[in-house]
Structure 1
Amino acid sequence: MTNRDRRHWHAADDLVARYAEGVLPEPDAWSLEKHVEGCAGCAARVSAAVRGTAAGAALAQVRAAVLASAPATATAPATATAPATAVSEEPYAGQPPLSRFARLLWAAGPAVRGAWLPAVLGVAVAALGLAYGAGFPGARALLLAVAPVVPVAGVALSYGPHADPLHEVVAATPGGGLRLALTRTVAVLAVSLPLLTLTGLLLPASGAPAAAAWLLPGLALALASLALASFVGCRAAAALTGGGWLCAVLAPAAVAPTGAATTRLAEQLSRCLDGAAAQGGWAAAAVLSAVLLTARRPAYHRPLRP
């Protein structure tokens, strides 16, 4: 089906012909569509093949009508797609392929912009302010209680109908679905894990676990949120995982006698985070969540619940 070299591949003529005729199996069609996003040569060949079909004439009429009705100042090229998922060459003409970094930055999208990033910085600054400004001895314990929920919130805010105006369209593309959700999850973790861990290292220990003890729980809760999102949606999944964690660690401190809340919180965090048994349990939870997420991957091929 394809001619390959060590670094790249190009669509064979029979593959292009079957794609233009609309008889190419859906997985192969998706693979070709993803390929032509970065290969101008194959995009031109596919477009030429489509123009030679009956659908090509209809596409040309639709495109001409759209361009005629568009404002004179419009500069972005138009792309039309037929029921056979045809691809136009114009968006790639005269343009070099997008770099991997540019694609990754676009895919990260809401995970690195909007209110979430300032919120993460706010958590770090607030913890430092409590420790060194207000002299609060339990600042690290409080940070460790909140830190695992931060990636969960980032995942919930960065994927789903509320994050993408065209979520239904994006989820149906080869680069959408679980792949896009994982890309944005990695962006969330890449920002929150080092920032909050470094903040924890700057805080006095005061009996709390190590600053990096929350990393496995944060990863496990993020993966669990993604897995549960395939059943109940991103926001509900985040509420279940993040809310469950906060209830587990904060409940003992909430019922502690006056003045003992900080100590009780540090003790509860030590039970949840310290030691090989606790960390091994979180590692197992992360693996199980990843397995469930893999099994539920087809659910990401359609729009999730809000």
Structure 2
Amino acid sequence: MDPEVTVLLQCPGGGLPQEQIQAELSPAHDRRPLPCGEEAITAIWETRLKAQPWLFDAPKFRLHSATLAPIGSRGPQLLLRLGLTSYRDFLGTNWSSSAAWLRQQGATDWGDTQAYLADPLGVGAALATADDFLVFLRRSWQVAEAPGLVDVPGGHPEPQLDLWLSARERTPDSGSLTLLHCATSGPQGQQALCPGGSPQHEDLAEELVVRELFSSVLQEICDEVNLPLLTLSQPLLLGIARNETSAGRASAEFYVQCSLTSEQVRKHYLSGGPEAH
């Protein structure tokens, strides 16, 4: 097991579909105010902007906790407890030089190492081609998190945007594409989740939040790998992992099957897209 990754939760079977997931949004699931004040976050953000002026703040969902239903129970099989946070707070907590201290202090004050951390929920895809390859991307050098490293297609669900807003203004996450052979082998409609402004917990319908979670991973694949939506299967949630290099930030990991071969995927990628390089 990679020491930089902790498996927070593994879904049963081959993964859970969208209809088996339930979201619970509450201010109680937001991060706690920093014990030393919020000024440190502002200072870190301003320093980052001077070095990387293309960065921009945006609301994100915060994963507080996740609970699987008892085996054999009916109804939703997974409950996600979500709050709201921001990219700015992520850089000012999870990626700050005091992140280890914040985790220790969170455990002392609240019995939760993540209590003071932004912990924006990411999404990632194990994207399999028709000829049993997995798709990997090399991240751009212009992102704040893990620049230049190899990663799966992914990003973050967006609280304030349409589920299929084609003009998402994001920093590109991908720089080059890699296909690895593996041994094993309906699109969502557009609907505003919380268009514009700063979303509030009460503005976000929990059913639409789950839909955005699943839609966002497909949108990231379309944007980063330049694949047509109709070539992608409905995602299955495999589980949730914590990235220990960013102080335990959680990411929902999905399985998505593509109907194209690895060579067809490569050609689509090289022809370019909103975030394909």
Which TM-score bucket, shorter chain as reference?
under 0.3
Using the size of structure 2 for normalisation, the TM-score is 0.24
> Higher relative contact order at CA 8 Å, sep ≥6: structure 1 or structure 2?
2
- Computing the radius of gyration from Cα coordinates, the structure with the larger value is 1
Using the size of structure 1 for normalisation, the TM-score is 0.22
If each structure's strand is expressed as a fraction of its own residues, which one has the higher value?
2
